[in-house]
Amino acid sequence: MSYNLLKGKRGIIFGALDEKSIAWKVAQRAHEEGAHFTLTNTALALRMGTINKLSEECNAKIIAADVTVLEDLENLFKESQEVLGGKLDFVLHSVGMSPNVRKKRPYTDLNYEFYQKTLDISAMSLHKVLQTAMKQDALNESASVIALTYMAAQRTFPDYSDMAEAKAMLESIVRSFGYHYGVAKKVRVYSISQSPTATTAGSGVGGFDAFFDYADKMSPLGNASADECADYCICLFSDLTKKVTMQNLFHDGGFSSTGISAGIMDSFGK
């Protein structure tokens, strides 16, 4: 159902790779709500993924950019404003990758070049996105910027490896840049801490299925799906949350506030 919440709004959506991607669902919902936006991903992901289908469905131009490369981001913001016909109202940073996780390096035997890549792609890139936007004055007053994160930033999940540090840093950038962009232009910056979700990035974490089932059993409302995450993003991109900023917002069915659930007790009581 559409509420026209983003009618006339312009934005950039990072990170749609395939139909399972959280960014894919956000793009579909943003389109339904009347937004115009560009889609972006790395040149490699554009070749490997199925983003052309989404681009046609949403009438959205695809602009290649590696989120770690400043020149790519400068071009992305410039071209997006030209294509969309003005400054932007929202940005979705739905990007994450750890070469250590991908190559199954144990946390106690990390490759430090990979580690730097993890931090650059998954955390520092948010700073690069915001700094580029600010330098170009590319965002309208009260624009809304969302990054996606996971609770491993606060608590240890052994298989999440160096992505845990990346998410802690990402959430800190949300607060720090959120302060500066708020003072300068009332721009809102938040992270959404999402339940485990069966996507390419999510399923890459070791033991994902057990992890997913455990979180589902622990959460009073059950795990939040990618579609539900998209609904939450639309709400935060809209004008209905103009005084929310610098927050890490849990979208996890109650998992982060639950000590133990009856479902988990039952599975140990047998």
Ligand X SMILES: NC(=O)c1ccc[n+]([C@@H]2O[C@H](COP(=O)([O-])OP(=O)(O)OC[C@H]3O[C@@H](n4cnc5c(N)ncnc54)[C@H](O)[C@@H]3O)[C@@H](O)[C@H]2O)c1
Site residues for ligand X per CB under 6 A = 14-15, 17, 21-23, 41-42, 45, 66-68, 94-97, 121, 148-150, 194, 196-197, 199-202
| Least distance between ligand X and beta carbon 270 (Å) | 28
Q: Please, which residue, 56 or 183, has the CB nearer to ligand X?
A: 56
Cβ closest to ligand X, residue 47 vs residue 242:
47
Minimum distance between the CB of residue 94 and ligand X, rounded to whole angstroms?
A: 4
Question: Which lies closer to ligand X via its Cβ, residue 64 or residue 142?
Answer: 64
Cβ-based neighbour number of residue 254 at 10 Å: 15
Between strands 62-64 and 188-194, the pairing is unpaired
Least separation in angstroms between residue 46's CB and ligand X is: 9
* Nearer Cβ to ligand X (14/115): 14
Please, what is the minimum distance in Å from the beta carbon of residue 214 to ligand X? 13
The minimum distance between CB 8 and ligand X, in angstroms, equals 26
Residue with the shortest CB distance to ligand X = 202
36: left (phi over 0), alpha (psi -120 to 50) or beta: beta
Task: Compare residues 62 and 140 and give the one whose CB is closer to ligand X.
Answer: 62
Nearest distance, CB of residue 231 and ligand X, angstroms? 15
Least distance CB 149 / ligand X (angstroms):
6
Using the minimum distance from each CB to ligand X, give the nearer residue, 98 or 245. 98
Cβ within 8 Å of residue 208, ≥6 positions away: 196, 198, 202
CA-closest candidate to residue 237, choices 184, 202, 192, 177:
192
Q: Between 66 and 89, whose beta carbon lies closer to ligand X?
A: 66
